[in-house]
Structure 1
Amino acid sequence: MQTNWRNNHFLHLDKPLLFGLLLLSGIGLFVLYSAGDQNLDLMLRQMLRLLVGFGIMLLLAQIQIQHIVRWIPWLYLGVIVLLILVLAIGEVSNGSQRWLNIGLFRFQPSEVMKLAVPLMVTWYFADKALPPNYGRLLLAILIITIPVILVSMQPDLGTSLLIASSGLFVLLLAGISWRIIFGITTLGTLLAPIFWIFILHEYQKERIRTLFYPEKDPLGAGYHIIQSKIAIGSGGVYGKGWLNGTQSHLQFLPERTTDFIFAVYSEEFGLIGVLVLLSIYIFILARGVYIAIHAQDTFSRLLVGSLILTFFVYIFVNMGMVIGLLPVVGLPLPLISYGGTSIVTLMAGFGLIMAVHTHRRFLSS
């Protein structure tokens, strides 16, 4: 029976999940073509990055998750070293030191850490009794805190928060008590003034102030949010049509190919288009939850659960900041925004999710 299974399933791929990701990527290319003023070179670069991302997803999906486990600590330590190199010799752009330039291309090690942190925390909990005791919990928090501090020093508040959330999701799924959650929340609230005074940079404080009153500086700090809201509202129910968005094509909307591409999509496809996009995201999230529920061991359940929740945070934070519910933190809309390292990291995560599910079927057969 094992031989027949191999003959009938040459590739380990979860077809529903693959379908959702391909559909989402196709929509992303259409929107990017419009947002980028029909720039074919931009499209080709994005297609190349998607091909690399899907290739890595395909490769990881073929590997049994048990074989990946042994490399997790080395991945985590390797990315820590890269983050230290970023602070020492990283390339500076727009006031932030986030990239390593190795000649042929540059990349953000912090994006890889979004995958390395949940992997490392999951690896640490995999062979231990759950819920974790206080000693193990403190060590897990240290595993999360070290890269968060390194990334926040770049500075990159948005990515550091996402890294923190990806690790904290593992803690939540590991079954920590509500008393601990309440205690951490209370401590975070008490430390908020210290965080505001000593940790946040002035531009980050300005983004938070702008969230509550963007009209105070409509041509400065509030410009992004105001123009984004105008674009989304002008789309109405049915949208203005593909390539017909005025806010983006008349150069009113900033960062329209990256952080604010959702505003371009909303203007051109309207409420109906937004509902379609949300339906695809919900389908991918639901499939991920299904795979997590049916995983065969603790490591697989914690890993898939944390990765799919992190994917949700990507969507929630990007859409929330574009419609003015959250501060602007510079997170891309998954598989829609133009980007390189973020696409590869996301697809690597989905490759691991597929590996958990398809090899589960193989082992059971």
Structure 2
Amino acid sequence: MENKSVYWQRFRAYFMVFDVPLAILIFLIVSTGIVTMYSAGIDFPGRLENHLRNIVIAFFVMWFIANVPPQTLMRFAIPIYAVGVSLLIAVALFGVIKKGARRWLHIGFDIQPSEILKIAVPLMLAWYFQKREGTLRWKDFGVAALILAIPLGLIVKQPDLGTALLVGAVGFTVIFLAGLSWRLLIGLFLAALILVPTVVWPRLHDYQKDRVMIMLDPTKDALGKGFHIIQSIIAVGSGGTTGKGWKNGTQSHLEFIPEHTTDFISAVYLEEFGFFGSLFLVTLYFLVVVRGLMIAANAPTMFARLMAGAVTAIFFTYAFVNLGMVVGILPVVGVPLPFVSFGGTAMMTLGMGLGILMSVQHHRGLMKS
């Protein structure tokens, strides 16, 4: 009897790693995503089943990472970053080209190594700043900028604007949370205002320039490059206050909204559930970000604090960019809506990220000691 009690306590401990407020919020988002995917994927046999499979896998990834103490995660920072950058170099040399972009590596099946860097970059930066805690100087921020710039440059070259945006945002978040001066931050902002039109804009690919110009005026090519945004905005507007009702969205079911199970699934949701539905979903995402920042603020070590802040930044960027894209205030990029859009790789990345958040929260007492 005593042995059974010991085994039960050990078994139970493995499943007590979940942060309850965060778990409830994610459950509500995932449930909303399943309901939306059922409607959006009606014309795609097997899409809902595959979405459910991805959710289950992401759950086990989250659970596994949540059981790994942050101190152990630190040990893998350099190897994961080195493998990620090496794979990006391999993509540049031997990568598979699809739709004009060299983003994939074929190893019996196709993988997209840039996804690894969404976790590897903040992991490496957090490790670097942890090792220099208390002795940070200007040159350390320069080294951190180089750690970020190497994979970012390789991803931009593929080109993959969406992933580059996410990696850049989360990397900059870690550097900022490590203690970047507000004066320097303002200086960087002013420098960006100068460099974007003079240096960055001329170097963008034509399709990237088109996305920005179409965002400003989608009617310039209403039946071509502006079609996606126009149809998405129509779907959002036609949802009105309460929406057209579940499975009654005309824009999606009449095939006016492209990619309506992936990048534009939020347009399906907004059309069917309207303003109140959007308020519900945005509130859930907002609360996840708030909870993530609370976990970061209470983390006992710099590494844990920076990783929690980085994961929160990933989640915020995913949600903000996707929702901004479908309502026409941001250019169209391949960024999914967290735990709603179909996509196995992004789901695994988010599962890993939330696992790190829960690990930081669960192991904070151990780290203090």
TM-score bin, normalised by smaller chain: over 0.9
Q: What residue in structure 1 maps to residue 269 of structure 2? A: 265
1:150 to 2:154 alignment: yes
Structure 1: distance between partners of 2:35 and 2:43: 10
Structure 1: distance between partners of 2:278 and 2:297: 28
Contact 1:131 1:176 in 2 (8 A): no
Per-residue deviation at 1:94? 1.5
Contact 1:130 1:174 in 2 (8 A): no
Q: In structure 2, do the counterparts of structure 1 residues 129 and 53 end up closer, same or farther at CA, with 3 Å as the change threshold?
A: same
CA displacement 1:57-87 (0-9 Å, x = unmatched): 1011111111111111000000111111222
Per-residue deviation at 1:210? 0.8
Query: More deviation in 282-291 or 346-355?
Result: 282-291
Per-residue deviation at 1:340? 1.3
1:63 to 2:64 alignment: no
Amino acid at match of 1:264: V
Contact 1:131 1:175 in 2 (8 A): no
CA displacement 1:259-315 (0-9 Å, x = unmatched): 111100000011111111112112211211111111111111111012102211111
Structure 2: distance between partners of 1:38 and 1:65: 43
Unaligned runs of 5+ in 2: 1-5
Amino acid at match of 1:17: L
After TM superposition, the structure 1 = structure 2 runs for residues 186-335 of structure 1, keeping only pairs within 5 Å, are 186-192=190-196, 193-197=198-202, 199-335=203-339
Q: In structure 2, do the counterparts of structure 1 residues 140 and 267 end up closer, same or farther at CA, with 3 Å as the change threshold?
A: same
Contact 1:5 1:362 in 2 (8 A): no
SS at match of 2:105: strand
Structure 1: distance between partners of 2:39 and 2:12: 41
- Give aligned pairs, total: 361
Q: What residue in structure 2 maps to residue 128 of structure 1? A: 132
1:29 to 2:31 alignment: no
Contact 2:300 2:367 in 1 (8 A): no
Q: In structure 2, do the counterparts of structure 1 residues 37 and 130 end up closer, same or farther at CA, with 3 Å as the change threshold?
A: farther
1:16 to 2:21 alignment: yes
Q: What residue in structure 2 maps to residue 342 of structure 1? A: 346
Structure 1: distance between partners of 2:230 and 2:19: 41
Per-residue deviation at 1:24? 1.2
Q: In structure 2, do the counterparts of structure 1 residues 211 and 363 end up closer, same or farther at CA, with 3 Å as the change threshold?
A: closer
Structure 2: distance between partners of 1:97 and 1:301: 35
Per-residue deviation at 1:362? 5.2
Q: Report the identity percentage.
A: 44
Contact 1:33 1:39 in 2 (8 A): no
Structure 2: distance between partners of 1:5 and 1:304: 28
TM-score w.r.t. structure 2 length? 0.93
Per-residue deviation at 1:6? 5.9
Per-residue deviation at 1:90? 2.2
SS at match of 1:315: helix
Structure 2: distance between partners of 1:235 and 1:114: 34
Structure 2: distance between partners of 1:217 and 1:179: 42
Per-residue deviation at 1:189? 2.0
SS at match of 2:230: helix
CA RMSD of aligned residues (A): 1.9
SS at match of 2:199: helix
Unaligned runs of 5+ in 1: none
Per-residue deviation at 1:363? 5.8
Contact 1:107 1:341 in 2 (8 A): no
TM-score w.r.t. structure 1 length? 0.94
Structure 2: distance between partners of 1:338 and 1:300: 30
Q: In structure 2, do the counterparts of structure 1 residues 166 and 363 end up closer, same or farther at CA, with 3 Å as the change threshold?
A: closer
Q: In structure 2, do the counterparts of structure 1 residues 180 and 131 end up closer, same or farther at CA, with 3 Å as the change threshold?
A: farther
Structure 1: distance between partners of 2:257 and 2:328: 14
SS at match of 2:117: helix
CA displacement 1:180-217 (0-9 Å, x = unmatched): 112212222222121111x2000000111111111111
Q: In structure 2, do the counterparts of structure 1 residues 65 and 89 end up closer, same or farther at CA, with 3 Å as the change threshold?
A: same
For residue 107 of structure 1, the aligned residue among 106, 111, 114 is 111
SS at match of 2:341: coil
Query: More deviation in 128-137 or 332-341?
Result: 128-137
Contact 2:61 2:351 in 1 (8 A): yes
Structure 1: distance between partners of 2:257 and 2:284: 25
Q: In structure 2, do the counterparts of structure 1 residues 237 and 203 end up closer, same or farther at CA, with 3 Å as the change threshold?
A: same
